[in-house]
């Protein structure tokens, strides 16, 4: 005992030295997280201060505008760059990033740390984390749950004179539309109407051609009307599904909305143009991602009591375009261990609750299934309903070619008045078959 007691001061000093050295080493470490430049990214900067306080690992952020986000980040990955230790990448990137070795496979790490994918909403696991789809192979942790939703001018809908005129014309109350037939009635009813001394329009929908916009818009009509990417029983068999009679009707319907219910001049418009159209009081209804709804609900001009939210309309079936992203560790990172520490920290239930509270959108069941969640915001229930019927675009390694083909075919028909809807979808099947043949997926 005496010998140990004599050694104790030295042992304590050594331990203190080791702890100090470890802390100093952690404080020397900085990891970079890459994402798109938007409000949720700003919220993540604030949230990540807690990670630095807990671990001593400093954070840098590389945020790129959505218009150039995919090009910039995919070029970074393809060049095996070391800019990003962590990346919050779009759901469509999973296939290519997994097969090309850009992302670290997380299965062993999840098992070691007790991180369970069953703790996250199923649609976000399939959409943001899995490759191949519907297999237990994980390349990301669900980070930002999102889907397309709708805002509407609640104050305009409530005007007694508008209510009376609508009921006289359609024999029903003016309410947020539940079907696409109702949507068209409402949007055309508002089109060109004078409200508060200003000419307004029925709806805002995505039309952007260069990246993903019009595809992320038109699918919200196509899915409920019967469009499918492939035969559920025969992968990559697209004839009669992509170009079915119902899909043709859906594409014709989207064009009818564009021609008869939207403001003039919006021929190449996506997220920011939609926000501008709604904030400036141009439209009665607008599609956009739920991620923007916290900001819209607080907007001094159109937020508060003036704004309402609703779920994507349903027809033959239900369906809405999945958005959102997962967070992945970049395989070329020199700070892989520190990046994995961030993943472990972010997966924690308490961190997920704070992420939701400060402006993120958690995919954790502990957040989404909380009894208080549906009333946590004016759009929370619509978001929950939407996440139960989301569908995603192809996540194949060749997704960019698949996407650009759909962008061109749909934009040429809807906006540029080229050909028929049937010709557009038949042509899309030809385009996609060519890609899958080159990939060896079909003969």
When the pLDDT of each residue in the chain is averaged and rounded to a whole number, the result is 94
Residue 9 has pLDDT above 70, yes or no: no
Residue 152 burial by Cβ neighbours in a 10 Å radius (0-12, 13-18, 19+): buried
The tens digit of pLDDT for each residue in 402-411 reads: 999 999 999 9
Domain chopping of the chain, boundaries: 29-146+323-391, 147-322+394-438
Residue 264 has pLDDT above 80, yes or no: yes
What number of helices (H) and strands (E) belong to the chain? 19, 11
pLDDT band at 22 (very low <50, low <70, confident <90, very high): very low
CB 157 within 8 A of CB 335: no
Q: Please report, for residues 11, 26, 149, the alpha-carbon distance to residue 15 in angstroms, rounded to integers and kept in the order given.
A: 6, 17, 55
Residue 262 has pLDDT above 50, yes or no: yes
Average pLDDT over residues 303-320: 96
The tens digit of pLDDT for each residue in 358-378 reads: 999 999 999 999 999 999 999
Buried b (16+ CB within 10 A) or exposed e, 307-335: bbbbbbbbbeebbbbbbbbbbbbbbbbeb
319: helix, strand or coil: coil
CB 319 within 8 A of CB 312: yes
Closest CA to 122 of 376, 322, 347: 322
How many other CB atoms sit within 10 Å of the CB of residue 433?
17
CB 374 within 8 A of CB 68: no
pLDDT in the model for residue 17? 45
Rounded to 10 degrees, what is the CA torsion of 50, 53, 59, 63? 20
Phi, psi of 286 (to 5 degrees): -150, 135
Sign of the Cα pseudo-torsion (46, 52, 55, 58, in order): positive
Closest CA to 329 of 89, 119, 48, 52: 89
pLDDT in the model for residue 27? 57
Measured distance CA(4)–CA(127) in Å, rounded? 58
Phi, psi of 329 (to 5 degrees): -95, 125
Q: Please report, for residues 20, 47, 313, 319, the alpha-carbon distance to residue 275 in angstroms, rounded to integers and kept in the order given.
A: 50, 25, 20, 23
Average pLDDT over residues 27-45: 94
Measured distance CA(33)–CA(40) in Å, rounded? 13
Average pLDDT over residues 53-65: 97
The tens digit of pLDDT for each residue in 122-164 reads: 999 999 999 999 999 999 999 999 999 999 999 999 999 999 9
pLDDT in the model for residue 2? 34
CATH code for the domain defined by 29-146+323-391: 3.40.190.10
pLDDT in the model for residue 67? 87
pLDDT in the model for residue 163? 98
Cα 253–chain centre separation:
24
89: helix, strand or coil: strand
Angle at 122 between CA 367 and CA 65, to 5 degrees: 75
Average pLDDT over residues 307-324: 96
CATH code for the domain defined by 147-322+394-438: 3.40.190.10
Same fold, 29-146+323-391 and 147-322+394-438: yes
Measured distance CA(237)–CA(28) in Å, rounded? 53
Q: What is the number of residues in the chain? A: 443
CB 339 within 8 A of CB 141: no
pLDDT band at 28 (very low <50, low <70, confident <90, very high): confident
Residue 281 has pLDDT above 80, yes or no: yes
Q: Please report, for residues 289, 308, 368, 370, 389, the alpha-carbon distance to residue 374 in angstroms, rounded to integers and kept in the order given.
A: 18, 15, 8, 8, 17
């Amino acid at each position: 005992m005496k010998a140990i007691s004599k050694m104790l001061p030295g042992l304590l000093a050594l331990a203190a030295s080791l702890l100090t050295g470890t802390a100093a080493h952690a404080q020397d470490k900085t990891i970079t997280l890459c994402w798109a430049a938007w409000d949720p990214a700003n919220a993540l900067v604030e949230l990540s201060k807690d990670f630095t306080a807990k671990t001593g690992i400093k954070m840098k952020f590389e945020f790129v505008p959505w218009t150039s986000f995919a090009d910039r980040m995919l070029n970074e990955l393809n060049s095996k760059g070391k800019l990003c230790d962590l990346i919050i990448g779009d759901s469509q990137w999973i296939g290519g990033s997994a097969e090309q070795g850009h992302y670290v496979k997380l299965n062993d790490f999840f098992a070691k740390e007790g991180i369970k994918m069953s703790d996250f909403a199923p649609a976000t696991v399939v959409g943001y984390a899995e490759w191949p789809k519907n297999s237990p192979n994980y390349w990301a942790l669900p980070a930002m749950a999102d889907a397309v939703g709708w805002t509407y001018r609640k104050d305009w809908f409530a005007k007694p004179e508008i209510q009376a005129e609508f009921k006289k014309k359609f024999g029903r109350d003016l309410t947020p539309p539940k079907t696409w037939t109702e949507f068209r009635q409402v949007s055309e009813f508002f089109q060109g109407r004078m409200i508060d001394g200003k000419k307004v329009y029925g709806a805002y929908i995505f039309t952007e051609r260069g990246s993903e916009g019009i595809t992320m818009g038109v699918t919200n009509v196509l899915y409920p009307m019967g469009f499918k990417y492939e035969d559920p029983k025969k992968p990559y068999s697209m004839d009669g599904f992509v170009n079915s009679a119902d899909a043709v009707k859906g594409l014709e319907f989207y064009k009818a909305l564009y021609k008869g219910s939207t403001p003039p001049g919006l021929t190449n418009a996506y997220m920011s143009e939609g926000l501008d159209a709604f904030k400036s009081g141009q439209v009665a209804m607008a599609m956009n991602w739920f991620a923007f709804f916290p900001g819209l609900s607080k907007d001094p001009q159109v937020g508060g009591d003036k704004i309402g939210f609703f779920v994507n309309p349903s027809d033959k079936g239900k369906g809405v375009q999945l958005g959102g992203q997962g967070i992945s560790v970049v395989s070329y990172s020199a700070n892989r261990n520190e990046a994995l520490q961030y993943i472990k920290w972010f997966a924690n239930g308490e961190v997920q609750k704070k992420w939701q509270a400060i402006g993120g959108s958690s995919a954790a069941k502990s957040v989404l299934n909380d009894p208080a969640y549906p009333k946590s915001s004016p759009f929370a229930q619509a978001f929950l309903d939407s996440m139960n019927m989301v569908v995603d675009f192809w996540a194949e390694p060749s997704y960019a070619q698949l996407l650009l083909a759909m962008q061109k075919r749909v934009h040429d028909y809807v906006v540029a008045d080229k050909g028929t809807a049937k010709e557009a979808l038949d042509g899309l099947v030809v385009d996609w078959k060519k890609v899958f043949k080159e990939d060896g997926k079909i003969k």
